[in-house]
Chains A and B, each alone.
Chain A
Amino acid sequence: MAPSRDVAIVAFAQSDHRRRTDELSEVEMVMPVLHEVLRRTGLKTADIGFTCSGSSDYLAGRAFSFTMALDGVGAWPPISESHVETDGAWALYEAWVKLLTGESDTALVYSYGKASPGSVRDVLSRQLDPYYLAPLWPDSVALAALQAQALIDAGDTTEAELAAIAARSRDAATTNPHAQLPGARPHGDHVVAPLRTGDCPPIGDGAAAVVLAAGDKARELCERPAWIRGMDHRVEAHALGVRDLTDSPSTRLAARRAGAFDRPVDTAELHAPFTSQEVVLRKALDLDDSVRVNPSGGALAANPVMAAGLIRLGEAAARVHRGESDRALAHATSGPCLQQNLVAVLEGESHVR
Chain B
Amino acid sequence: MSGKEPVAVVGIGQTKHVAARRDVSLAGLVREAARRALDDAALDWADIDAVVIGKAPDFFEGVMMPELYLADALGAVGKPMLRVHTAGSVGGSTALVAAQLVAARVHGTVLTLAFEKQSESNAMWGLSLPIPFQQPLLAGAGGFFAPHVRAYMRRTGAPDTVGSLVAYKDRRNALKNPYAHLHEHDITLAKVQASPMLWDPIRYSETCPSSDGACAMVLTDRAGAARAPHPPAWLHGGAMRSEPTLFAGKDFVSPQAGKDCAADVYRQAGITDPRREVDAVEMYVPFSWYEPMWLENLGFADEGEGWKLTESGVTELDGDLPVNPSGGVLSTNPIGASGMIRFAEAALQVRGQAGEHQVEGARRALGHAYGGGAQFFSMWLVGAEPPTT
Binding site for B on A (CB under 8 A): 4, 51, 56-58, 62-64, 66-68, 70-71, 74-86, 90, 93-94, 97-98, 100-103, 123-124, 126-131, 134, 232-239, 249-250, 253, 334-336, 339-340
Contact = CB atoms under 8 A, between A and B. Distances in A.
Contact of A62 (B69, B72, B133, B242): B133
Contact of A77 (B58, B64, B72, B260): B260
B84 A82 contact: yes
Nearest to A99: B104
Nearest to B54: A85
A75 B245 CA distance: 10
Contacts of B79: 234-235
28 contacts: A4-B1, A64-B57, A64-B129, A67-B372, A75-B243, A78-B255, A78-B256, A78-B260, A85-B83, A85-B85, A90-B83, A94-B82, A101-B100, A101-B103, A102-B3, A126-B62, A126-B63, A127-B65, A130-B26, A130-B61, A130-B63, A232-B80, A233-B80, A237-B72, A238-B69, A238-B70, A238-B71, A335-B65
Nearest to A242: B72
B357 to A, nearest CB: 30
Contacts of B3: 102
Contact of B243 (A4, A78, A128): A78
A86 B243 contact: no
B136 interface: no
B196 interface: no
Given A62-B130, A63-B127, A250-B78, A4 B105 contact: yes
Contact of B245 (A62, A67, A85): A67
B74 to A, nearest CB: 10
Nearest to A250: B78
B104 A340 contact: no
B68 interface: yes
Contacts of B261: 78
B111 interface: no
B240 A82 contact: yes
B68 A58 contact: no
Nearest to B128: A63
B340 interface: no
B283 interface: no
A77 B256 contact: yes
A130 B66 CA distance: 9
A2 B81 CA distance: 20
B93 A58 contact: no
Contact of A130 (B62, B78, B244): B62
A253 B71 CA distance: 16
Contacts of B239: 80
Given A78-B257, A84-B84, A238 B68 contact: yes
A80 to B, nearest CB: 6
Contacts of B67: 86
